[in-house]
Amino acid sequence: MAASDAPRVRFAPSPTGYLHVGGARTALFNWLFARKLGGAFLLRIEDTDRARSTDESTRAIFEGLHWLALEWDEEVVYQGANLERHRQDARRLLENGAAYRCFCTPAELDERRKDAEARKEAFKYDRRCDRLDRAEVERRAAAGESHVLRFRVPDGTTAWDDMVHETVAFPNKDIEDFVVLRSDATPIYNMAVVSDDIAMRITHVMRGDDHISNTPKQILLYRALGAPLPRFGHLPMIHGLDGKKLSKRHGATAVGDYRHLGILPQAMLNFLALLGWSPGGDREVMTLDEMVELFSVEGLQRKAAIFDPKKLEWMNGQHLSRMGAAELEPIVAPAIVAAGLASADELASRREWWLGLLDLLKVRARTVDDVVRQARPYFAEEIDYDAEAVAKHWKDAAGTADILAATGERLASLDDWRAEAMEESLRQLGEERGIGGGKVFQPLRLALTGMSVSPGIFDVVLALGRERTLRRIDAAVRRLRGGVAAGNAAG
């Protein structure tokens, strides 16, 4: 593809909140499209609503996109900086006759709207100011009377060949003469968007289904401005479990929320991609590169999708166990540090051990938080014993203490500090006592980790090291024999 016809797409959020999962999904599809076709992915912050826009939101959007690795190719465009061009484009519409001045006040309009509603009629601006005498319009405008610029919607039908849907058509009679420039000379959304998309030479506009009724208006503006039309594609909405539009009451809706819940960006991207797109066949778990490879607009879905957190978690678990420890490390390490388990320096100084531990833990975790939770016994000096586990595996205090003491002795006397040798020795202990392996291993697991869930017990011993293993066994024995009254023991 020649550079001149490489697609240019954009993600254009308004900075009035955090980066929403719906927005992230829109950004992802645009990004995938651009990467797949060797085009450019641009970012435009639609901050023209000064009252609702905040710098904090803008930062949150950047942060969310960075986290997801959805990098944009050119300088960020701030819509607010282009106000003068928007205004000029709107005035060009007035000059070439596509728009006209309207002196109706918001209060008047509101009243007429209410009247129409009372009569159960659909309200549509009746174009009365377009019928004003030309001289009168000039006089009132010259006198500084407050007015807006309205676009004069022509007769006919406005249709386009949507990238997701087939042909979408709106009878122009259903489109009212919409405002393009407010009385304070600031542009209305559709005006600003079209002006910017033209200036940015956007070739494909992919956005949520909720914009579908803006599209005919925008097409009309492109034509009136004499600009070439981009292709439009309308992505299905994302709904909550109850089938309603995803909102705060559905729980986490910001991508940052999921980041803090221990979701991996790769998993988030993969999950989001499958909400409204399918590579065909049974393909589900994919890396970002694979998604770029497989992406095509043919796989885009028309139906709204429901956001199922359960599947996201599963997806995260898949990515967690498939990723190599080295790849995972930069993501998990900060969480370990944040949890106060170790410093970054400590992790770096024992990197080999730490990566080995990560390999052990990632398999049975669904989130980064799970990994951190399970990692605690390998870092902490002291461990807490899980009450339920104690009730289950240490029920017979005296008997358990004996077995643990014997276990400690066996391990201590082992010259060969390898899993195979440990297992052989401890199984033998079980046989001698006439008990199954579980009766040896479970109390030991509890003594070493404080939990009833862990990696294979000998992996645990190896990860802990001889010193700590023996110390923890000793502490558990003392506790069971009444030496320690309460819940924890020296690590």
Partner RNA sequence: GGCCCCAUCGUCUAUCGGUUAGGACGGCACUCUUUCAAGGUGCAGAGACGGGUUCGAUUCCCGUUGGGGCUACCA
469 makes contact with RNA (CB under 7 A): no
Please confirm, yes or no, whether 248 is among the known catalytic residues.
Answer: yes
49 makes contact with RNA (CB under 7 A): yes
The 8-class DSSP code of residue 241 comes to: T
- Return the C-alpha torsion angle 286, 289, 291, 293, nearest 10: -130
- Coil, strand or helix at 260: helix
280 makes contact with RNA (CB under 7 A): yes
The residue type found at 239 is H
Where helices occur in 350-436 by DSSP H, the ranges are: 351-362, 368-379, 387-393, 397-413, 419-433
Q: How far apart are CA 306 and CA 247, in angstroms?
A: 12
In degrees rounded to 5, what are phi and psi of residue 102?
A: -130, 125
Q: Which of 230, 317, 377, 408 binds RNA (CB under 7 A)?
A: 317
**Binding mask of the shown chain, residues 414 to 453, with x at each position contacting RNA by CB under 7 A:** ---------x-------------xx--xx--x------xx
Q: How far apart are CA 215 and CA 164, in angstroms?
A: 14
- The catalytic position among 244, 245, 248, 392 is 248
Q: Which of 2, 120, 228, 432 binds RNA (CB under 7 A)?
A: 120
Q: Which of 96, 105, 343, 428 binds RNA (CB under 7 A)?
A: 105
Question: Could you tell me which stretch among 17-25, 92-100, 142-150, 377-385 binds RNA (CB under 7 A)?
Answer: 142-150
Nearby residues of 144 by Cβ (< 8 Å), 6 or more positions away: none
Question: Could you tell me which stretch among 46-54, 260-268, 399-407, 476-484 binds RNA (CB under 7 A)?
Answer: 46-54
**Binding mask of the shown chain, residues 322 to 361, with x at each position contacting RNA by CB under 7 A:** ----------------------------------------
Q: How far apart are CA 283 and CA 50, in angstroms?
A: 44
Q: How far apart are CA 239 and CA 246, in angstroms?
A: 5
State in angstroms the smallest separation of the CB of 204 from RNA. 18
Judge whether 66 and 121 are in contact, CB under 8 Å.
no
Nearer to RNA, 22 or 39 (CB): 22
Would you call 42 exposed, middle or buried from its count of C-beta atoms within 10 A (0-12, 13-18, 19+)?
Answer: buried
Q: Which of 308, 327, 346, 388 binds RNA (CB under 7 A)?
A: 308
Question: Could you tell me which stretch among 130-138, 306-314, 327-335, 476-484 binds RNA (CB under 7 A)?
Answer: 306-314
188 makes contact with RNA (CB under 7 A): yes
Nearer to RNA, 364 or 468 (CB): 364
State in angstroms the smallest separation of the CB of 245 from RNA. 3
Distance of CA 254 to the CA centre of its chain: 6
Q: Which residues are catalytic?
A: 248
